[in-house]
Chains A and B, each alone.
Chain A
């Protein structure tokens, strides 16, 4: 539903029904004789963008829920281990050496951002080492590496001021460069990771009780924690490298959904993925239409809608508990 509503929004004037028709026509179920322009706009520009938004939202929300459980901290979010800085550094380098290039069908910016994100995670894990089921070291390592990378990015930006706007815009997160190749790649990684995480949801419940309880209930907390972190980092890297850094979704969506589903990750994880996808699609509609034809970075929208909404939910919940 949101997909179709969203498809109707945009610079060109195409109504909701037409958008539905275009998709139906694409699937070959019927023929409405739509103009080629309309079809191109819907199928080649808007649809990939909408799907990329949905995938990104689902991925970030799932990764956020996992991070919160593993760190046993409701303030944890997918960028905690410096992934965002790593991806930004990768993207910055790619933009500076020439953004127009492609490796296969994928732009160098995406590839470099992905490599940057994964290298960061490996660095953080290598440097912080494994400390008996306690991931605090990892967290500190991630923060430190994040700062170092940020410094490098700032330095590179000063040296290449002509590319600064592009870099900053990338970092704010946007779906405006979406195309089917990006959708395919990120959807592949994201869906597989989400399925693996959901299959292991009960394990995540137990892990969220803490090291010693998880141990006595039959889990190796170190191994399980590392497993979940690596998968959700891969998930986050896939998402960040295609869409830039979109904040708040990974933090807030799991919280929001927890108010409805409770903490059981078997219910929370699927709900968070769906909720994240919907929220991101809505945010993208807003990003495209609030100041049309100019676009607002979608990360700005997520923070703007997400923040106050979250505060309201929090207040309502507190009232329920107290009275």
Chain B
């Protein structure tokens, strides 16, 4: 499934302007969106997801304008893991995950055998069996994040959009998540994730976009544009560059400015 973004831009009434962006995202790509807070990542995300319509330019999936695809059909093509927000009503973990099957259900058909099977499989895969009947509001942030991930997997879409999916996860679960996403990419799926951890971006992503003040300042393989000078320019943070034995670059605290190199902020 190919996503084509052509000169798409968007302007909020409050003044924020996402300047024209153009990217082609081939299937089987792990793409990362990164940049400082308020740089336009979420806006670009919403454009790809079809939640907002570009003021100019276009966002197309396999040649079809994304906002023109009927909602249920679009939800069979792309699914999203949103940032964790407070939920008003207290569903159980299983109810929440089952909602990922909605795009496959008709008005009168209800849950089919294959719906139930898909839910069971994912609950197994993400080790959520003990949580099945637990209420959402009783979960920790990390546990809830896994439930949201489970829901998007149940949706069985070719494109997975994830908005800061590692936020509430500990190191082990972050790694598990990213490995799982990598597996999905190897199966031919497209993963588009907002990540703040530049080292993770370097390690996992095939393609990256760096946004700053509503503008796409860099695009390409993360290793090509994530350099000390770019980071200094965009984030205003001095970093040290380490090179591992097998050639990976790792950024760490410089120490001079005293600013953190942990990237959540």
A residues lining the B interface (CB < 8 Å): 68-69, 72-74, 199-200, 202-203, 205-206, 208-213, 215-220, 258, 262-264, 321
Contact = CB atoms under 8 A, between A and B. Distances in A.
Interface string B132-171: 0001001000000000000000010000010000000000
A69 B135 CA distance: 17
Contacts of A69: 89
A218 B79 CA distance: 9
Contacts of B108: 199
A205 B82 CA distance: 17
B99 A216 contact: no
B54 to A, nearest CB: 15
Contact of B102 (A68, A199, A210, A218): A218
A262 B88 contact: no
Given A206-B102, A216-B80, A262-B90, 5 more contacts: A205-B99, A208-B89, A216-B78, A217-B79, A263-B89
B248 interface: no
A289 to B, nearest CB: 37
A212 B87 CA distance: 13
A218 B103 contact: yes
11 contacts: A74-B89, A203-B102, A212-B46, A212-B80, A215-B49, A215-B71, A216-B49, A218-B73, A219-B71, A263-B95, A264-B91
A208 B88 contact: yes
Contacts of A205: 91, 95, 99
B104 to A, nearest CB: 9
Interface string B73-102: 111101110100101111110010001101
Contacts of A73: 88
Interface of B: 46, 49-51, 71-76, 78-80, 82, 85, 87-92, 95, 99-100, 102-103, 105, 107-108, 135, 138, 155, 161
A218 B71 contact: yes
Nearest to A265: B89
A263 B98 CA distance: 14
B90 A220 contact: no
Nearest to A76: B88
Contacts of A202: 99, 102, 105
A209 B79 CA distance: 15
Contacts of A262: 90-92, 95, 135
Contacts of A210: 85
Nearest to A220: B71
Contacts of B88: 72-74, 208
Contacts of A199: 107-108
A225 to B, nearest CB: 13
Contacts of A218: 71-76, 102-103
Contacts of A258: 89
Contacts of A321: 138
Contacts of A216: 49, 51, 75, 78-80, 82, 161
Contacts of A68: 89
Nearest to B91: A263
Query: Which 3 residue pairs of A and B lie closest in terms of their CB atoms, listed nearest first?
Result: A218-B75, A216-B80, A263-B89
A1 to B, nearest CB: 31
**Max chain A CB contacts within 10 Å: which of B76, B79, B80, B95?**
B95
Contacts of B46: 212
Given A217-B75, A219-B71, A200 B91 contact: no
B90 A263 contact: yes
A73 B86 CA distance: 12
B102 A215 contact: no
Given A74-B88, A212-B51, A216-B82, A206 B99 contact: yes
A158 to B, nearest CB: 41
A74 B100 CA distance: 24
B86 to A, nearest CB: 9
A212 B155 contact: no
A71 to B, nearest CB: 9
B201 to A, nearest CB: 23
Contacts of A72: 88-89
Contacts of B91: 205, 262-264
Contact of A212 (B72, B82, B89): B82
A152 to B, nearest CB: 34
Contacts of B85: 210
Contact of B107 (A200, A208, A212): A200
A200 B107 CA distance: 7
Nearest to A224: B71
A241 to B, nearest CB: 29
A10 B50 CA distance: 60
Contacts of B105: 202
